Amino acid sequence: MSKVAKRLSPVGASKRRAPRFNRKPEVLAAIAGPPASGVLEGRVVAMSEPGKVRGVLAGGEAIEALCPAHVDPSWLQAACERGPVAAAFVLLQPSGRHILWGIFPGAEHADVRADIVIRGRQIRVDADALQLSSRSAHLDLDADGNVAVKGRDVISHARRVNRIKGGSIRLN
């Protein structure tokens, strides 16, 4: 072996035995033990404190994991009250902390509703069509450029000039 190859080879590499491929998967899993890092299957069962969730891994181990900012904590709490939410967790190295990587709501979570707040200097929604709805008010923007505003009362207010322009304008 060349000097460069010896320097680049891992320590003790020459002492390792060649892998045995004729072992059964159960035996290999028992030898390997739990994964050192990677994606782990589990369920989110509750929110524990702001920014953290309680989960149970597929093997039954209870964990606490960091919750990323893009997961809405109020929705997740409401969903967990209906039942555990399938999730993927990542085990970080070398800290050993778990992170909630993704959630996969089931049919029992389809009707979960929670209040959300979107904050930003500029919020842009780019879509072919957009519909904003509440119980009795609707705003529809379609791909053809049509805008429909429907509600019990529609108020238009301007501090200066309030212009209404169109090919034709129909009042009542």
Three-state secondary structure string covering 7-34: HHCCCCHHHCCCCCCCCCHHHHHHHHCC
Cα gap 5→31, rounded to integer Å: 29
| pLDDT at residue number 8 | 55
Cα 169 to Cα 113, 152, 164, 166: the distances in Å are 39, 20, 8, 6
Q: Please, how many CA atoms are within 13 Å of residue 153, restricted to the half-sphere of its CB?
A: 3
- 28 pLDDT band, cuts 50/70/90, is very low
Neighbours of 140 (CB within 10 A): 14
In sequence order, what are the beta bridge partners of 49? 52
Residue 41 has pLDDT above 60, yes or no: yes
CATH code for residues 38-109: 2.40.50.140
Cα gap 70→48, rounded to integer Å: 17
Residue 60 has pLDDT above 70, yes or no: yes
Q: Where are the alpha helices (DSSP H) in 36-142?
A: 73-82
Residue 45 has pLDDT above 70, yes or no: yes
98 touches 57 (CB < 8 A): no
| pLDDT at residue number 71 | 87
Residue 62 has pLDDT above 80, yes or no: yes
Q: What mean pLDDT is predicted for residues 11-29?
A: 52
Average pLDDT, the chain: 82
Least confident of 27-31, 70-74, 134-138: 27-31
Percent of the residues in the chain that have a pLDDT greater than 90, as a whole number: 45
| pLDDT at residue number 138 | 94
Q: What mean pLDDT is predicted for residues 33-52?
A: 81
Segments making up each domain of the chain, as ranges: 38-109, 125-158
Cα gap 80→70, rounded to integer Å: 17
Residue 21 has pLDDT above 80, yes or no: no
| pLDDT at residue number 115 | 78
Per residue in 77-132, pLDDT (tens digit) is 999 999 999 999 999 888 889 999 999 999 999 888 877 777 789 989 888 999 99
